[in-house]
Structure 1
Amino acid sequence: MTLLVSAVATYGLRVVLITLVPAHRLPAVLRRGLPHLAPAALAGLVAVALVGHVGPAAPGPDRLAFLAALAAAGVVAWRSRNPALPVLAAVAVAIVVEVLS
C-alpha cells in the first residue's frame, strides 16, 4: 500500500510540474542548470554503487569489472562527447572483465 501511494504521489508531482511549469517558463538560472541534471543524477547512482551504503566494499571480481567499466566509460565520454558511446564501452568492458575473471 505504501509503495502504491508513493508511486501515485511521485507521478502526480511529475505531471503537475511538467504541465504547470514548463521549462521555457523557468528562470534563466534554472534553465542553464537543466542540461546538467541527468549527468548529476547518473553520477549519484554511480557513487552509491561504488561506495555502497555502509562503506567501500572489499575488492573482488565484481568491483574490478565495475571500476574497469567506469574508467572506460569516462575515457570514451571525455573523448567522444557522445552520450551513447560511453554506455556501450562500459558494457563491453564489463562483459570482457567478467568473462576473463
Structure 2
Amino acid sequence: MTLLLAAIATHGLRTVLITLVPAHRLPALLRRGLPHLAPAALAGLVATALVTTTGPAAGSAVPGVTYAALAVAALVAWRSRHPALPVLAAVAVTVVAEVLA
C-alpha cells in the first residue's frame, strides 16, 4: 500500500511539474544542466552502494573486483561517451573476475 501511494505521489508530481514548468520555459542555466542530471543521480547511487558495508564491494568473491570494474567503466565512459558501453564493460570485468576466481 505504501509503495502504491508513493508511486501515485511521484507520478502526480512529475505530471504537475512537467505540465506547469516545461523544459523550454526553464532558465538557460537550468536547461544546460538537465543532461547531467541522470548521470549525477546514478553516480550518487553507485557511491552510496560502495561506501556501505553491505554494498557490492563487500559481497564480491574477488577482493577489489568492484573497484576494478568501476575503473574500467570510467575509462570506457570517458573514451566512448556512450551510456551503455561502460555498463557492459563493468559487467564483463566482473564476470571474468568471478569466473577466473
TM-score by length of 2: 0.84
Structure 1 residue 78 displacement after superposition:
1.2
Give 2:78's aligned residue: 78
Q: Which residue identity is paired with 1:95?
A: V
Is the counterpart of residue 96 in structure 1 residue 73 in structure 2?
A: no
Aligned counterpart, 2:2: 2
Aligned length: 100
Runs of 4+ in structure 1 off by over 2 angstroms are: 57-65
Residues 53, 15 of structure 1: CA spacing in aligned structure 2 closer, same or farther, 3 A cutoff?
A: farther
TM-score by length of 1: 0.84
CA distance in 2, matches of 1:53, 1:20: 42
Q: Structure 2: which 5+ residue stretches go unaligned?
A: none
Counterpart residue number, 1:36:
36
- Structure 2 counterpart SS, 1:61: coil
Higher RCO (CA-CA < 8 Å; seq separation 6+): 1
1:54 Cα deviation from its structure 2 partner:
7.9
Contact kept, 8 Å, 2:60 with 2:66, in 1: the verdict is no
CA contact (8 A) 2:69 2:94 kept: yes
- Identity, % of aligned pairs? 73
Q: Structure 1: which 5+ residue stretches go unaligned?
A: none
1:45-93 Cα offsets, whole Å, 9 max, x none, are: 11011101789x6585265231121111001111122222111111111
